[in-house]
Chain A
Amino acid sequence: MRVDGLLEKAIAQLQTPVPVRASWRAALLREIAAAPPPRREEPRAFVRRVRWTLHPTVAIAAAVACLAVGLASGVLLSRTRAASSADASSSAELTTVRFVIDAPSARQVSLVGDFNRWDASANPMRPSQDGQSWIIEVPLSRGRHTYAFVVDGDVLRDPSAPTLVDDDFGVRNSIIFVGDGRT
């Protein structure tokens, strides 16, 4: 075949050594010998360049310190949010509100609402001196809050406060507006 003949000719041409001057070859070999060895572990090259000199014990101490700062920030943040209303963007200004409910025969009463995630253990109320009612003062952020009382396990609305219309779960909640400032 004609193509095969051309191919064989080309291969033979390529296999023929190219004449190189001895001086060029020697210069090239000198440059190669003078060049630094290639880096085998590229990711670690950065570490070597910056030359960290921190002792492991110091590094561990720093890590522990940062952990403590991180945890403290988290706790601080969580307290701030817990103290605020359901709206994360509401003002941090708090107003102490007094809640009272008449329940002379109750054994345990607590206040629940959107300010304590409806947690019956968060705001236990104390009985009044005459034993007729239960009282608690709670700092609330400005705005609209819904709440109820848990009296011996039963959820009850505040009979002395406006009632919220939503009765999604059978028992309506009471509602309070804190610090509107337009009275």
Chain B
Amino acid sequence: MIGRRSACLFPIAAVMTLAFWGDSARAQQTNQREATLRLTPATRSVIDAVADSLAGAGLPWAVLYDKAAEGVLKGASEARIIVVVRALAVRLRESRRLLGDAASADDLSAASSALYAGVSPALLRRAATTRSERPNAPSLSLTLTVLAALVSQHVPPEIATASLESLLRRGARELDLREFQRGVEGDIGGGSPPVDAATIRTQHVLQTIDSRRTPE
């Protein structure tokens, strides 16, 4: 009788172990990957391979699945989704190289957007360095997002970077950068040339910062 009992214990133990670990591991990955279930297995395997490659390099890989899911929602072709996911992976690697290991996933995503917009690696690194020199500066991800937004609005990258640097050096806060971005976008939307919009709004925000410092 003991033999029969012990014979059934091994399969049960195996099932218990597999059920516990298998389900936990699956739960970690399924949420990231379930959004791509509407893609063909071939496309999913390509995305999985790119994601595994990023994960192996210690880079944020979940954003690739987000991007693929976004493509599915927007009705993009699978070929287009693969191209976009691969390009994003390349930019994330480049961002890590430029910003270093301390950069967060948000920082890397923002840097990736800046590179996408046309900010050169040298300017991106310059903006990041200026920000890091200020103890209470806005987050790097916000700084780079604003930089990317300005360049996408046809503000020349050099001028956009210089504007941000002057604001950061003067002690700009997160609210200031948001106001700056909104102002530039609004002015450009209203017909101002991008360079003029960036210059005028920089002066405006600098005055705001100064007035906050100087007691009336």
Contacts and interface: CB of A to CB of B under 8 A. Distances in A.
Given A52-B6, A63-B12, A144 B71 contact: no
B133 to A, nearest CB: 15
Given A74-B26, A81-B28, A144-B110, A162 B117 contact: no
A89 interface: yes
Contacts, number: 179
Nearest to B65: A117
- Chain B interface main SS type: helix
Contact of A180 (B31, B80, B174): B174
A77 B60 contact: no
Contacts of A164: 113, 145, 148-149
A90 B74 contact: no
Contacts of B72: 118
Given A180-B142, A182-B174, A169 B69 contact: no
Interface string B80-102: 10001001100000000000000
Contacts of A51: 2
A77 B24 contact: yes
A94 interface: no
A10 interface: no
B48 to A, nearest CB: 16
Interface in A84-134: 86-90, 112, 114, 117-120
Interface stretch (A1-9, A26-34, A65-73): A65-73
A164 B116 CA distance: 11
B16 A169 contact: no
Interface stretch (B39-47, B178-186, B198-206, B207-215): B178-186
B63 interface: yes
Q: How large is the interface on B (under 10, 10 to 19, 20 to 34, 35 or more residues)?
A: 35 or more
Contacts of B31: 78, 81-82, 117
A63 B106 contact: no
Interface of A: 44, 47-48, 51-56, 59-60, 62-63, 66-67, 69-71, 73-75, 77-78, 81-82, 86-90, 112, 114, 117-120, 143-144, 150, 155, 162-166, 168-171, 173, 175, 177, 180, 182-183
Given A67-B15, A162-B178, A165-B148, 10 more contacts: A59-B12, A67-B20, A70-B23, A73-B23, A155-B73, A166-B112, A171-B74, A180-B174, A182-B173, A183-B173
Q: Which 7 A-B pairs have the closest CB atoms?
A: A87-B105, A70-B20, A74-B27, A165-B152, A74-B23, A117-B35, A66-B16
14 contacts: A59-B12, A62-B16, A63-B12, A66-B16, A73-B23, A77-B28, A82-B31, A117-B34, A162-B145, A164-B145, A169-B70, A169-B76, A171-B74, A182-B174
